[in-house]
Structure formats: structure tokens, C-alpha cells
């Protein structure tokens, strides 16, 4: 019998502030990949959270930061979508 945990079935959403567009995302998908899937390009370089090229401001959301470049203070306002993930709910990006 397969069971799905509430964490696996929780709806994760990226919202684009400028347009109100909402993008559903899975836990396995990176934010940068979900954006690209919908035609929203964010410049990238390393794709591993080391360079900061994709640094993006977010307005609200619960972020699992995976980068090695941003300070704790920067994490309050920015994320690196190439390596960061949404912990829960909706992430509103300043795009």
C-alpha cells in the first residue's frame, strides 16, 4: 500500500508579484526550473548556489536556502532560485 505524506501532497506555489501568475511546483523541482518551465528566465551561472548570479528578491514565503553565497541578513529578502526550495505554501517572488 502506497501512502502519501501530507508533506508530499502539500501544494507548493510560486507567485510572480508583477503579474499575479501562479506556478505549481513539486518538492523535487528547483524554483529556477519551475520558472523556466513557464517561460520566466532568470540569469544563472553556476546552478549550485555559489555565484549569486540568480539572486532574486522575494516578498513572502518559507524558503529552504541552499546557497553558500548569501548572508543570513540577505536570506531575509533574497534567495538563489537555482538551489533554494519552498518549504511550504506560497512563495511570492519580486519578478
The whole-number mean pLDDT for each consecutive block of 10 residues of the chain, a chain of 95 residues, reads 50 97 94 96 92 96 95 97 96 98
Domain count of the fold of the chain? 1
Predicted local confidence at residue 92, as pLDDT? 98
Q: Is residue 5, in this structure, part of any structural domain at all?
A: no
Domain ranges, residue 75: 10-93
User: Which CATH number fits the domain that encloses residue 18?
Assistant: 3.10.20.30
Q: Is residue 66, in this structure, part of any structural domain at all?
A: yes
The dihedrals phi and psi of 32, each to the nearest 5 degrees, come to -65, -40
CB 55 within 8 A of CB 82: no
Q: Is residue 89, in this structure, part of any structural domain at all?
A: yes
CB 25 within 8 A of CB 93: no
Predicted local confidence at residue 5, as pLDDT? 43
Q: Is residue 1, in this structure, part of any structural domain at all?
A: no
Number of residues that this document lists for the chain: 95
Amino acid at each position: 500500500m502506497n501512502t502519501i505524506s501530507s508533506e508530499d501532497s502539500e501544494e507548493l506555489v510560486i507567485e510572480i508579484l508583477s503579474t499575479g501568475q501562479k506556478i505549481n511546483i513539486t518538492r523535487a523541482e528547483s524554483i529556477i526550473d519551475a520558472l523556466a518551465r513557464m517561460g520566466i528566465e532568470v540569469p544563472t551561472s553556476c546552478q549550485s548556489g555559489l555565484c549569486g548570479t540568480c539572486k532574486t528578491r522575494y516578498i513572502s514565503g518559507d524558503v529552504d536556502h541552499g546557497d553558500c553565497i548569501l548572508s543570513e541578513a540577505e536570506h531575509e529578502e533574497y534567495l538563489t532560485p537555482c538551489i533554494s526550495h519552498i518549504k511550504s505554501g506560497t512563495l511570492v517572488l519580486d519578478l
